[in-house]
Structure 1
Amino acid sequence: MVKGANVGLASLSEDVGSVVLSLGWCSAAGDGDADVSVLLLDAEGKVRSDADFIFYNNPAAADGTVQLLGKTPTANGSEDRISLDLTAMTSGVERVVLAASRDVGARFGDLDDLRMTLADRAGETLLGFSINDASVESAFIFGELYRRGGEWKFRAVGQGYETGLAGLATDFGIVVDDAPEEEVAETVEGSDTASVTVPEAPVAAHPVTVPAQSTAPEAAAGATRRPRTAKKKVTLPNIARKSLAENDGWRQARLFPVSSLKSDRDRETRATSVLLSVMAQVPEFGRRLTAAFGAPAGRMDTFTEVSLPHGDTPKRPDGVIRIERAGKLWTALMETKTNGNALRAEQVQDYMDIAARRGYEAVITLSNDVALPGRPLVDVKTDGRRKHKATLWHLSWAEVTHQAQMLIRHEGVGNAAHAWLLQELLHYLQHENSGCHGFQNMGPAWVPVRRGIDEETLCRGDQRAVEVVESWERLVRQVCLRLGGELGQKVLPVQRARRSTDPHARHAALADRLCADGRLEAEVRIDGTPGILAVVADLRTGKLRTSIDMPAPEQGYPLSWAKRLIRQLSEAPADLHIEALVQGQGVGPRGTLERLRPEPADVLPKDGAQVIGFRLSLFKGMGSTRGNAESGFIRSVDDAVDRFYTGVIAHLERRPTRRPEPSEIAVTA
């Protein structure tokens, strides 16, 4: 669509009662980001109350018709998704404005490929709109949905604001309290809500904080708290609750015991039942896992081991999810695998046929594997003669764990009982016997590819190299999910490729690079950190390198920069490598932190060349086996990323600095 154009949704699809909108962007440096927001407007073009402002501090409408689904990585950046249930939208809402904003000091003109797409309940993209004229704006209205003649229509807007999210919200009747982040980044006791603290498991170090109804005097008097556009961060007290056990041998009673699990069938049955029961009892959690699949917000019931007729032999999917909204049912069949077992294509195909025949909306597969865009884990055929078509979706156990962590450790849930249920679920998922530990096998191609690299017999075009590249990408995505859940920050893989690049072609190109230089490379963006975390697995040397490029400050002298950096890293590992980044020359002098502490000037070039930043790197031996054992490659990557974050990144200052242009740094091995 072009700017200003409009179209009726009913003319695009028969199934637009529930839609998912995606707002996307990218940047050359891989670190550009924005946050989406939705405003529900009445006939006068104003919000009815502050509750109609859906953004990062209020991520879902009270009636569940609007929900922010979070970010997903794309081939060249990331996109933010929004779920809208138009059939359940109250008649008082005439327009739905879809916008995005950037942090203070950031502009949309610094981002590339600004775009918006709208998909129906089945996930089929119906329309797209690109913005090509962004410049100094820090907030943008991408588009809007509006009622006309009894149907919903979409208009491509493309209007920007230099005043940011606060200015945009004010235009639509919202009075905002745009307090600085330092003021709102308090513990729960200092915020505008009271809190309920639920003890963690004995092995954990943090209590779980759950927002409860405010007991502040102004709340009791009926005062209204204005929405804050500064992001709120709940800080959990780092205090372990003392156990009443006589000794460490006493085990705390668990709601979901796992010690008796012996067979794969037991693990699958128990894991499915545990997950579905918690989804039904904790609305925030159930909604978060199903909204991305086009499910409406409503009452959820879940079932296990349901028998459904199919030919001569009934089929028994592992689970069924049913959601009722406005008298209509949304139904999904679930097929679960644990302990690294692969999904069976013929089994999933049977469930797809059953769903299409019975008018169900979706089939959800759940396993340890992480799905990649454009690379389904199982291939199924769709009967084009059927009017109703079910949609196949995939969910990984790593994503389930991530969403549980985000809710109980960082964002909060409705009450203490819900927090306790999620905590028990999280303990179950992370137990060694559950089989729900996420991606845990680099695949059968791992050993022959490593051998081919050692013997220099691996040739370009080898399909086994493509399989290893895909496994590597799955591993990186899982590392992002795990780290993001632990930190409560957005952690996304950076993919430097054109938007139109086919996933198959991209993986083939990366496989050819692997054959040529024997390295697997990835970049990860962690919100709130000063740079991009790079991870390189060198299969020739058996070493893992984790690193981050620190751009030089805009003011000061190189020697003062080096001294300040050394002071920040006072508690970092002594074997940390520090390299100067020199304009036009790539890397300059280098040395370990231990050697540079007494003489920071040794990291500076002697010829007076311009220093544009510093590269910090740690090296670690790489696991050789393909599995998730202690000596495995997957475990070594997890350990390397954890060590680098806790030992290096966590000590760096989080303040704006000048980022070197890509042309200024020559990337070297």
Structure 2
Amino acid sequence: MQKMVKGANVGLGTLSDDVGSVVMSLGWSSPSGEGDADVSVLLLDGNGKVRSDSDFCFYNNPAVGNGSVQLLGKSPTADGNEDRISFDLDAVPPEVEQIVVAASRYGGSSFGDLNDLCLKLADSSGDGLVQFSVEDAGAVSAFIFGELYRRTGEWKFRAVGQGYASGLGGLATDFGVDIDDDEEEAREEEARGGDPGEEPVARGQEGGGREPVVPAPRAPEPPAPVTAGEATPPEPKRRARPRTAKKKVTLPRATRKTLAENDSWRTARLFPLSTLRSDREREMRATSVLLSVMTQVPEFGRRLTAGFGAPAGRMETFTEVSLPHGDSPRRPDGVIRVERAGKLWTALVETKTNGNALKPDQVQAYMDIAARRGYEAVITLSNDVALEGSPLVDVRIDGRRKHKVALWHLSWAEVAHQAQMLIRHEGVVNAAHAWLLQELLHYLQHEQSGCHGFQNMGAAWVPVRKGIDDETLCQGDPRATEVIESWERLVRQVCLRLGGELGQKVLPVQRTRRGSDPHARRAELADRLCSQGRLEAELRIEGTPGNLAIAADLRTGKLRTSIEVAAAEQGYPLNRAKRLIRQLSSAPADLHIETLLEGDGVGPRGTLERLRPEPGDLLPKGGGEIVGFRLSLFKGMGNGRGSAETGFIRSVDEAVDRFHALVIAQLDVRGARRPGGGVEAAR
């Protein structure tokens, strides 16, 4: 990987032969784990301006240039999270000469508050091409990381590193995007009694789709008749323009009353499950169902394959294809082919369901076949969740082969997450496509499908719990590291599931510096598990006043879910306590509340049931500045290593869902400070 300095440029063709499709990653970290930014991309013509507002790619418009540029969203890494962007450079419209990649912050935050700002670019096989580390971003709320540009028919990359104090709106305006004035509209909305940044959204059709966020210009209205004495006709309505304020989503209406005579009648399903009787049947059915929906719903198929280096083009999928391999042919579960401008991109698919593990010899055979036949990728699909630095299968890569084959992994939980995001929160263009995705989601979530995501904490779970209970587990025990990896997989799956249900970004918080070794980090956490007997994690949920913390105490068998919220900036201490109690009017009576004092001190505590009639009991008797409150719920954890009724995995899911629905969802985030940081404002 070539390291770049500010202002340097390089031709992509000199770094790799597979640069028709590339993936760019923007990453950063913060001491609190709460710092975040949003990525945007601008497609510019020869004059350095967008051809139209539709060339502005950001969170309200995640795919531009006929799908040649697509925001893939955030993904967790060993030392934080990063935003990923897919570029199908062969499909970028010929009028586009330059592609600018930027990011923006909000709520008064600046890039100078973040650490380890870094841009990485990888080719279609996943091999790194360039890395650009930003040293001094400064007090700016928008930042251009780099740009891709054409020179004599070749794509090149330039490390820019330029900040914009005027934010995303100012950056976009400089490149010719005509955006709405968010501040003016926010003031108008407040005058009408609404929330700043909220915009009416039309309800979708059957699948929960919504109107495009950047709508097409409306047809001009007929001019009003001009009466005597009028010099000019009234001004026409301005056309709709992109908004840099995030758009709120109105979920689809409740399902209409069923026409069934009684509850025993079952709705006819496109993908039936009643005939599934073996793991082989489950694998064949799940593969065929998924691949067929990917072909019929382009938005869904593109979303799943863009991160694997696939171009934006016509997709066809196949199952049970026979391919020669030595004395006996091999039959991968599926094949994905994408055609763009006469070129083919091909990936072999190996599927596992019902918790079955991938077989290294099978995956190795498919890697060898793909290399010999000039295919681009092998995609494994199972209930497991891949971790950085801990591959699910080890394969040999023959360095003598000129053709490189990329090995990618996809979890069934991620497939369900992407389907949920499209049909419930972002919308698809066609109502029939929305129905297909709904049928796919019903299939994946059915207990007989075998596509339930991570379901087993592993063979080390019971011995580690027993070792902690009788105090015989020693630091350095490899079984503790296995449990840490399983815990990390579970936390990432919880993020996918909760994010799909809420339509918000939900990511695990990693409080380590970028570039740290994932093996060393997990070994440190394993030693802490041995000494303290606890598994801990934090989830950052977009639009909430703090991180949702999960702590599983294996000694006591208790799960604790909690959040730290800041006290209101204004008012007397008693009023702050009363305001919090009012917000929690519907919260469980056994909710624990602790007062947080300046200097990491802890003040009075009690249950909500006791504090409701006496909020003043939260005030410290000996004085001290109240900076916030910690809200916690406790429940018993399951003993089993799986996701059965008494399993640990199910108990974690239920604890997170209950805490979010009964506590976090009631908290008011407007103008609230995080206990250790700045104001959390609406975007």
TM beyond 0.5: yes
1:485 aligns with 2:493: no
Query: What residue number does 2:484 align with?
Result: 469
Separation (CA, whole Å) in 2 of partners of 1:561 and 1:223:
44
1:307 aligns with 2:322: yes
Q: Among residues 99, 120, 124, which one is paired with 2:123 in the alignment? A: 120
Cα distance, 1:236 vs structure 2:
1.4
Q: Among residues 135, 140, 148, which one is paired with 1:137 in the alignment? A: 140
1:25 aligns with 2:2: no
Cα distance, 1:220 vs structure 2:
6.8
Cα distance, 1:50 vs structure 2:
1.0
Is there any run of 5+ residues in structure 2 with no aligned partner, and where? 187-194, 222-236, 678-683
Cα distance, 1:234 vs structure 2:
1.8
Query: What residue number does 2:151 align with?
Result: 148
Cα 1:606/1:463, change in 2 over 3 Å: same
- Tell me if the contact between 1:75 and 1:498 (Cα under 8 Å) persists in the aligned partners: no
Cα 1:516/1:251, change in 2 over 3 Å: same
Cα distance, 1:218 vs structure 2:
2.9
Query: What residue number does 1:85 align with?
Result: 88
RMSD: 1.7
- Tell me if the contact between 2:213 and 2:242 (Cα under 8 Å) persists in the aligned partners: no
1:360-392 CA-partner distances (Å, limit 9, x unpaired)? 000000000011112110000011111112110
- Tell me if the contact between 2:593 and 2:605 (Cα under 8 Å) persists in the aligned partners: yes
Cα distance, 1:87 vs structure 2:
1.6
Is there any run of 5+ residues in structure 1 with no aligned partner, and where? 190-194, 200-207, 663-669
Which residue identity lines up with residue 153 of structure 1 in the other structure? K
1:188 aligns with 2:188: no
Cα 1:196/1:514, change in 2 over 3 Å: closer
Cα distance, 1:355 vs structure 2:
0.5
Query: What residue number does 1:577 align with?
Result: 592
- Tell me if the contact between 1:47 and 1:53 (Cα under 8 Å) persists in the aligned partners: yes
Cα 1:636/1:214, change in 2 over 3 Å: closer
Cα distance, 1:188 vs structure 2:
3.0
1:162 aligns with 2:159: no
Instruction: Name the % identity.
Output: 74
Spell out the pairing of 1:639-658 with structure 2 (5 A cutoff): 639-658=654-673
- Tell me if the contact between 1:530 and 1:656 (Cα under 8 Å) persists in the aligned partners: no
Which residue identity lines up with residue 137 of structure 1 in the other structure? V
Separation (CA, whole Å) in 2 of partners of 1:408 and 1:522:
29
Separation (CA, whole Å) in 1 of partners of 2:89 and 2:214:
31
Q: Among residues 554, 568, 572, which one is paired with 1:553 in the alignment? A: 568
Q: Among residues 413, 436, 439, which one is paired with 1:424 in the alignment? A: 439
Separation (CA, whole Å) in 2 of partners of 1:504 and 1:570:
45
Query: What residue number does 1:53 align with?
Result: 56
**What TM-score comes out, normalization by structure 2 length?**
0.93
SS in 2 for 1:379: coil
Spell out the pairing of 1:614-625 with structure 2 (5 A cutoff): 614-625=629-640
Separation (CA, whole Å) in 1 of partners of 2:264 and 2:325:
50
SS in 1 for 2:91: coil
- Tell me if the contact between 1:323 and 1:330 (Cα under 8 Å) persists in the aligned partners: yes
SS in 1 for 2:433: helix
Cα 1:215/1:163, change in 2 over 3 Å: closer
Cα 1:134/1:369, change in 2 over 3 Å: same
Which residue identity lines up with residue 102 of structure 2 in the other structure? A
Query: What residue number does 2:333 align with?
Result: 318
Query: What residue number does 1:248 align with?
Result: 263
Cα distance, 1:216 vs structure 2:
9.8
Which residue identity lines up with residue 514 of structure 1 in the other structure? L
Separation (CA, whole Å) in 2 of partners of 1:232 and 1:358:
46
Separation (CA, whole Å) in 1 of partners of 2:252 and 2:88:
37
- Tell me if the contact between 2:216 and 2:240 (Cα under 8 Å) persists in the aligned partners: no
Query: What residue number does 2:681 align with?
Result: none
1:393 aligns with 2:417: no
Separation (CA, whole Å) in 2 of partners of 1:368 and 1:440:
7
- Tell me if the contact between 2:79 and 2:510 (Cα under 8 Å) persists in the aligned partners: yes
Cα 1:519/1:578, change in 2 over 3 Å: same
1:592-613 CA-partner distances (Å, limit 9, x unpaired)? 0000001111122100022211
Query: What residue number does 1:105 align with?
Result: 108
Query: What residue number does 2:349 align with?
Result: 334
1:572-607 CA-partner distances (Å, limit 9, x unpaired)? 000000001122353221100000001111122100
- Tell me if the contact between 1:198 and 1:419 (Cα under 8 Å) persists in the aligned partners: yes
Q: Among residues 501, 510, 521, which one is paired with 2:525 in the alignment? A: 510
Deviates more, 1:8-17 or 1:286-295: 8-17
Query: What residue number does 2:176 align with?
Result: 173
**What TM-score comes out, normalization by structure 1 length?**
0.94
- Tell me if the contact between 1:36 and 1:100 (Cα under 8 Å) persists in the aligned partners: yes
1:5 aligns with 2:13: no
Cα distance, 1:557 vs structure 2:
2.3
Query: What residue number does 2:205 align with?
Result: 197
1:287-332 CA-partner distances (Å, limit 9, x unpaired)? 0000000111000000000000000010000000000011100000
Spell out the pairing of 1:204-219 with structure 2 (5 A cutoff): 208-211=208-211, 218-219=218-219
1:413-445 CA-partner distances (Å, limit 9, x unpaired)? 111000000000000000010000100000000
Query: What residue number does 2:649 align with?
Result: 634
